[in-house]
A and B are shown apart, each in its own frame.
Chain A
Amino acid sequence: MSTTVLFDAPGPRARVRNNLLTVVSVVAVAAVLYGIYRGFDAKGQWEGKIWQPFLQWETWEVYIFPGLLGTLQAAVVAAVLALVFGAVFGLARLSDHAWIRVPAGVVVEVFRAIPLLLLIFFIFYLAPAVAGGGDYTFMAVVIGLMLYNGSVLAEVVRAGVHAVPRGQSEAAFAVGMRKNQVMRLVLLPQAVTAMMPAIVSQLVVLLKDTALGYIIAYVDLLNTGFKILPARFFGSLIPAAIVIGIIYVALNMALSFLATRLERRSRRSRKTAAAPIAAPGSAEVSVGAGEGTEDAGLAPDRPVE
């Protein structure tokens, strides 16, 4: 439903009222922004002195870029591992053998339910006990992200394979393919296309969650921005927070934009009979929902049950 239907094309009185509302809301928004501006101003947060470091190349080279690199390193390594984890466990959950399916299901459900920060803490404290002393911040962040996001991706893989209309695998079995061939040649290629947008949205979540490394002192963007920079340039905490906030938002918005593009493309795509599946936890609802969010029922050649 397009939202413009919610209100009529305004007549003269409604136009006056809308203009009045516009003025009031502009004033309200401006008042909030001005309040924040004044508050920071009173604390001297807009002084050129504390913004000065961000105009110097050195600050970016020595502090911000290494921090960004730390974030991206953790995100990329964790993303690759999570994709492998997700593929392995997602397929394991689809297995015909209960002794593979059930343990994989338990692993996926458990790691999805654990608060990620606690998982990272646990690995961080467990690692030295198992493997001796050393710096385990990177490892704890990466493994925590892998286990959590991998479990979510496993669900995405499962939903993707289920989203391929059943007639496809029936036909493949009918022409004499084995289960392995059906999966490899028929289901997965189509499922991957349907899964793409959900995978990219999950990667946004992963990238955002690397910031949890801040709490165990992994040197990422948040850490450089919030701990190292303000310690080096006294008083520049708020400017640093604003600058790294902008970097995070820009990074994630670029990825989200990619997800939207991919979704639009896979909706049009004729390489797959499966409808694109919603990102887990993204709160997408299919039309007439209530029975779960997989809209496999919308696929064109789904047999009527």
Chain B
Amino acid sequence: MEDLIRYAPDLALGFLENIKISIVAAITSLILGTVLVAMRVSPTPVLRAAGTIYVNIVRNTPLTLVLAFSALGLSDQLGLVFSDVPSTNSFWIVSMGLSAYTAAFVCEALRSGINTVPLGQAEAARAIGLTFMQSLRMIILPQAFRAVIAPLGSVMIAMVKNTTVATAGGFALDSASKMKEAFDQVGASIPIFLGIVVAFMVVTLPIGYFTGRLARRLAVAR
């Protein structure tokens, strides 16, 4: 227990980094996922194909590889640099890598949400003369979003847990790295492990609970 108390401030700082990455990745992946799903149902075959290829490749690549590639390939080789401070740069690299990865899952969730919208709605939208973008924006996506709140919640929970893989992208300030540092000094400590686990559960369990409740409240009555 003393171990946990001694390392608590350090671990808390690490955990805060995980939360910061989560917030950035949540926002970016939701936007990117929505764009991807619009591409995947669009009238332009090239965009449809590009979206499909992206989702299939990213979904089937281990996150560890995605993050390592973002750091070593995109940042070191292609010169995608967000900041001159190495730790700030790797923070953004990891956040963007995680967003790019999560966006594929967001896209899949939204696409199955689109499938729940009755055919007649799209037909009606077309009948009153709405264009593709208009019907997507005003008729289809709002209903799709409401249908997939709970699954999106699970995607977000998985994403929060995935922030621990930040180490693979060269980011060494998050809770996984801090836990490793502590373990290197005092050996495996059950209190430290449980402390971090509880911290994650404090964040992920409410996400599941609230998205579940929200899903029930906002469910489209049919």
Binding site for B on A (CB under 8 A): 1-3, 5-8, 10, 14, 18, 21-22, 25-26, 29, 36, 39-40, 43, 45, 110, 113-118, 121-122, 125-126, 129, 204, 208-212, 214-215, 222, 226, 237-238, 241, 244-245, 248-249, 252-253, 256, 280-293
Contacts and interface: CB of A to CB of B under 8 A. Distances in A.
Nearest to B182: A125
Nearest to A23: B46
Contact of A6 (B41, B109, B161, B215): B41
Interface stretch (B81-89, B92-100, B164-172): B164-172
B28 interface: no
Interface string B121-135: 111001000001001
B138 to A, nearest CB: 12
B5 interface: no
Given A114-B197, A125-B188, A291-B219, A252 B60 contact: yes
A36 B70 CA distance: 12
Contacts of A256: 60
| Interface secondary structure of A, over-half rule | helix
Interface of B: 40-41, 43-47, 50, 56-57, 59-65, 68-69, 72-73, 77-79, 105, 108-109, 112-119, 121-123, 126, 132, 135-136, 140, 146-148, 150-152, 154-155, 158, 161-165, 167-168, 175-176, 179-180, 183, 187-188, 190, 193, 196-197, 200-201, 204-205, 215-216, 218-220, 222
Contacts, number: 204
A214 B64 CA distance: 8
Given A214-B68, A281-B158, A6 B50 contact: no
A215 B188 contact: no
Contact of A45 (B77, B114, B197): B77
Given A22-B46, A113-B197, A252-B60, 12 more contacts: A3-B41, A5-B119, A21-B43, A25-B50, A43-B78, A125-B188, A208-B61, A209-B62, A241-B68, A248-B61, A285-B151, A291-B219
A290 B216 contact: yes
A113 B60 contact: no
Contacts of A244: 65
B164 A115 contact: yes
A241 B69 contact: yes
21 contacts: A1-B114, A6-B43, A21-B47, A22-B46, A43-B78, A113-B197, A115-B161, A116-B164, A117-B176, A118-B179, A118-B200, A121-B180, A222-B68, A244-B65, A245-B61, A252-B61, A256-B60, A282-B151, A283-B148, A286-B116, A290-B219
A10 B42 CA distance: 13
A25 B112 contact: no
Given A117-B164, A245-B69, A40 B158 contact: no
Contacts of A287: 115-116
Given A113-B205, A215-B167, A208 B119 contact: no
A253 B58 CA distance: 11
Contact of A121 (B119, B132, B176): B176
Nearest to B155: A283
Contacts of A238: 72-73, 77
A129 B193 CA distance: 15
Contacts of A45: 77
